Chains A and B, each alone.
Chain A
Amino acid sequence: MYAQMVETGVKQVKALDDMSPEERAFQEKVDAEIKIEPKNWMPDAYRKTLIRQVSQHAHSEIVGMLPEGNWVTRAPTFKRKLQLMAKIQDEAGHGLYLYSAMETLGADRDEEVEKLHSGRAKYSSIFNYPTLNWADMGAVGWLVDGAAIVNQVVLQRTSYGPYSRAMIRICKEESFHQRQGYEMLLTMMQQGNDAQKAMVQDAINRLWWPALMMFGPSDADSPNSAQSMAWKIKRHTNDELRQRFIDQTVPQLEILGCSAPDPDLKWNAERGHYDFGEIQWGEFFDVIKGNGPCNRERLETRRNAISDGTWVRQAAVAHANKKKQRAAA
């Protein structure tokens, strides 16, 4: 999931009878699956939580460009390079759709970006892992975008109209990301030499667990889920989505001819799901706190991008003003 552990600031979900008339009307609309639009009344906590969730989602798209940007100049063929650039451009687009949706809630884009840069806003833990070999580009597309799709497909039905519409656009494009990643890995496994095949397995070994962590802590450790689900800005629990992802990914793993770094992963006919091993939550919380392998580097790159681009933004304004004056003269 691209948004993890979004605070609601609410300790207990209110019953309808305990709500103010406005609040009750709002909740009844949400319960009836009527979308909330920017000009509708909404509880302050709903607005703030959504700003946190949508901005976190947008930041994840933007920071998510960095691990892939690492390989643009090193792609093995021109075809792969073009595909990678198209995918990265999509991520920028997804970030912008989401920032637009966030702005409809009255949030200021500069302020929210500043929160990211000062470490006050989060982004998905997955992007704090390095991309060490070329197969990582395939594994990121297949596993990371795959996990994102599982989360985003359900968010198409989220209660806030602009967020839901951004999700619909994003989902249309994500399937290209996942398929290109998987096809890249399949090509390496079917036509590659031993070293290339080993590279694929190595990428899966490193990214498997972090991809599972994308869905956020287990339900027992998700104190905000109940309120987010009541508001329908979250539609399924973290554990439900994680299980769905694993169930759909394991057969794809077998087609690749690779294995997961999890000795406990096996089909449970009784449950009708795959069982899997314990996730190292200590690592997850460490990464979220800013101590993952690449947290500092990612934020520094983002801050430099903004400060190094200052002159470009100023020049654009100066140019626009000059054109306006010329037109007036």
Chain B
Amino acid sequence: MSEWTLFEVFVRSKHGLNHKHVGSVHAADTDMALENARDLYTRRSEGVSLWIVPSNMITASATDEKEALFDPSDDKVYRHASFYKLPDEVGHM
């Protein structure tokens, strides 16, 4: 199996929704990866579209650096609509 490539599989469950990561498959090439992903992840109409991406092409943020990456956005409350107080007569905005 090691001579085959590892691919990550993403499934769009319905039209209008994003593709979502579901797992991985091994395959000799992309055509085979799509077929294997179909057999493995959509046996019960779980999807309408598949993406496959070679696993080594994905760059991920390190989960241990979570604070450094994501904390800076935590103190920016002015980015949320609820930060702005408007009089009731303005109604829904």
Interface residues of A (CB under 8 A from B): 37, 39-41, 86, 89-90, 93, 96-97, 100, 103, 108-110, 113, 166, 169, 173, 313, 316-317, 319-320, 323-324
With the chains together, A37 CA to B64 CA distance in Å? 10
Contacts of B40 in A (CB 8 A): 93, 96-97
B1 and A90 within 8 A (CB):
no
With the chains together, A317 CA to B2 CA distance in Å? 11
Q: How many residues of B contact A (CB 8 A)?
A: 22
B24 and A108 within 8 A (CB):
no
Contacts of A108 in B (CB 8 A): 2
B64 and A39 within 8 A (CB):
yes
Contact with A along B1-43 (1 / 0, CB 8 A): 1111010000000000000001111101101100000011001
Check B62 for interface membership: any CB of A closer than 8 A: yes
Chain B residue at smallest Cβ distance from A40: B63
B25 and A90 within 8 A (CB):
no
Contact A39-B1, Cβ < 8 Å, known A90-B43, A316-B28: no
Give the interface centre of B23, B26, B32 by most chain A CB atoms within 10 Å. B23
B64 and A41 within 8 A (CB):
yes
Check B60 for interface membership: any CB of A closer than 8 A: yes
With the chains together, A173 CA to B62 CA distance in Å? 33
A97 and B29 within 8 A (CB):
no
B1 and A110 within 8 A (CB):
yes
* Residue from A37, A109, A320, A323 within 8 A of B63 (CB atoms): A37
Chain B residue at smallest Cβ distance from A36: B63
Interface residues of B (CB under 8 A from A): 1-4, 6, 22-26, 28-29, 31-32, 39-40, 43-44, 60, 62-64
With the chains together, A110 CA to B1 CA distance in Å? 6
A313 and B4 within 8 A (CB):
yes
* Residue from B26, B29, B43 within 8 A of A93 (CB atoms): B43
With the chains together, A103 CA to B7 CA distance in Å? 12
Contacts of B6 in A (CB 8 A): 103
Contacts of A166 in B (CB 8 A): 23
Contact A100-B63, Cβ < 8 Å, known A313-B3, A324-B29: no
With the chains together, A90 CA to B3 CA distance in Å? 25
Write the nearest CB–CB distance from B85 to chain A, whole angstroms: 35
Write the nearest CB–CB distance from A59 to chain B, whole angstroms: 15
Write the nearest CB–CB distance from A189 to chain B, whole angstroms: 29
A96 and B4 within 8 A (CB):
no
**Additional A-B contacts beyond A40-B64, A86-B43, A90-B43 (18; CB < 8 A):** A37-B63, A39-B60, A39-B62, A39-B64, A41-B64, A89-B43, A97-B40, A103-B24, A108-B2, A109-B1, A109-B2, A169-B22, A313-B3, A316-B28, A316-B32, A317-B4, A323-B31, A324-B29
